[in-house]
Amino acid sequence: MRTAVLVFCSLLGLSGTALAQSPVLDFESLPEGQAAGAAIAGVSFTNATVLQSAASLNEAEFPPRSGNKVVCDIGGPIKVTFNQPVKSFTAYITHSQTVTLKMVAPNGGVITQTTAAGDNRLGSGKTPNEAVQLTSDTGFTQVELSSAPGGSSFTVDDITTSLFVPPPPKFFTDITSLTFDYVSGRLAPPPMSIFVSAEPDVAFTVTTPTSWIQAITSRGITPANVSVAVHPEKFEPGQYFGTVVFTNSKNEKITIPVTVRVGAKPSLYSSPVSFTFKYRKGDAAPASQLIQVGALSANVDFFVLTKDPWVKVTPDFATTGHLDLNQRVSVDVSKLEPGHYESAIYVYSNEATNSPLGVPVILDVTAPATSEANQQGQGR
């Protein structure tokens, strides 16, 4: 006979198309004589070549089930390997002798095997394109089809597969990890909740191997919400790791990783770092200037005091991180005589390492313009 090569495909489509978009693989878009190899995204083939009616295929004995192309075992057994587990495949094969089909699990073990016995070519008295199907509740990643040692003994057409979807666990939690963020000097972060369930309901215990993790309850019956708290108040800045372990009455365990990210205690800063005002008596008072108070590592509440009553900051209480905050520094020059004045703004926060933060304020007051003119006239 003219030979043909079996290509087994999952629901992966051709040339990078997702398998689910092509539920039936009929090989019509593959070139005649091409070894399937890695031509189909998500699956790889060995010993697989496409044959075509009225050309390389002896359709008088090995008729296609649809279209005019099939695949055949040229060179030996055909192995088809998937990049993700499948639950089933169905194919239509025409064979000159018995074909053995094997399902191979992700760990490499053979799940099961079956055979398509005898000869079902046209003229054999049997019907060609025999439907064969393999199904596994645990999923498989490879199919092997073998017949004559040298190959060229069967053809395959119209292959379909379904992807394997693992069943939901019978003992499970709604989250797989917990992450807490904490800033040194503050109260511990609020607890987080883990929902634990089972089918059927079971009793369970909760353990926390590290002392700084606390489960609000140590035992219960599913379904239940379990609050988990952390106590990182004595930690230096950095990351810390622990676990929460759920164990049911069947000794099944779920381990939830817990991460605490500890940031340094905030440090205050101001922009600008100092203020300078100039005033000539008799002129309009100096315009106020904007001040922005920030904090490194975390936002904090703060309040402002001034060294002298002629320096004012409004508002005098705020929270860092508010970009729309209009906080202004002004000077009251109404009672000041000409001279050089130095004062300061003090920014306080109970959460900051550098509280109070001092911000210098300098004011130069000069005599009025009329006085200067009179002095010059008297000197002549």
Alpha carbon 66 to chain centroid, angstroms: 43
Rounded Cα distance, 347 and 361, in Å: 13
Instruction: Please list, in sequence order, all residues whose beta carbon lies within 8 angstroms of the beta carbon of residue 201, skipping any fewer than 6 positions away.
Output: 221, 222, 223
According to DSSP, the β-strands at 289-290 and 328-331 are antiparallel
Q: How does pLDDT run across 250-274, given as a tens digit for each residue? A: 999 999 999 999 999 999 999 999 9
Q: Give residue-wise pLDDT tens across range 236-254.
A: 999 999 999 999 999 999 9
Strand partners, 92: 131, 157
Cα distance between residue 93 and residue 78, in whole Å: 13
Residue 79 has pLDDT above 70, yes or no: yes
Rg, Å, the chain Cα set: 40
DSSP letter, residue 53: B
Torsion on CA atoms 12, 18, 21, 22, rounded to nearest 10? -30
Q: What average pLDDT is seen over the chain?
A: 88
pLDDT tens, residue by residue, 349-367: 998 999 999 999 999 999 9
Given a cut of 70, whether residue 17 has pLDDT beyond it is no
Q: How far apart are CA 27 and CA 7, in angstroms?
A: 8
Does position 6 have pLDDT exceeding 80, yes or no? no
User: How do residues 31-60 score in pLDDT, each as one tens digit?
Assistant: 999 887 777 777 888 888 999 999 999 999
Nearest to 14 by CA among 33, 35, 29: 29
Residue 18 has pLDDT above 70, yes or no: no
Mean pLDDT along residues 103-127:
92
In three-state secondary structure terms, 368 is coil
